[in-house]
């Protein structure tokens, strides 16, 4: 169950980052509010997961999922560049996340 919380927290981290982009330097109220809500919910779920997971692994997975997810959603939704180098880099982040989980013990 703790890993499910980390994955959900990572998804909320993506929503947080995208809301920050739309908040335009906190000049757009509702996007700013949504960014704070998504960020707070993400931290909350991570905190719950850390009750039973190693902090180093859980934190790395959370940040990795947030970063990789944000890049992928940025490419798909915001028409950000999708060069081979960016895609390979995201793939390497995901390989690192899997490696942390596989070699957890």
**For the chain, domain boundaries:** 2-102
Mean pLDDT confidence for 50-65? 93
Mean pLDDT confidence for 63-90? 94
pTM assigned to the model? 0.88
d(C-alpha 94, C-alpha 63), whole Å: 11
Confidence grade of residue 105 (pLDDT, cut at 50, 70, 90):
low
Q: In this structure, what DSSP letter does residue 78 have?
A: S
Q: Which is higher by pLDDT, 98 or 66?
A: 66
């Amino acid at each position: 169950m703790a890993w499910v919380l980390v994955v959900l927290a990572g998804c909320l981290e993506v929503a947080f980052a995208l809301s920050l982009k739309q908040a335009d330097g906190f000049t757009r109220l509702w996007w700013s509010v949504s960014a704070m809500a998504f960020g707070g919910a993400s931290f909350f779920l991570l905190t719950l997961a850390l009750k039973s997971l190693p902090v180093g692994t859980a934190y790395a997975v959370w940040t990795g999922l947030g970063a990789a997810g944000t890049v992928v959603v940025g490419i798909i939704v915001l028409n950000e560049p999708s060069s081979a180098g960016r895609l390979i880099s995201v793939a390497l982040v995901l390989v690192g996340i899997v490696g942390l989980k596989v070699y957890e013990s």
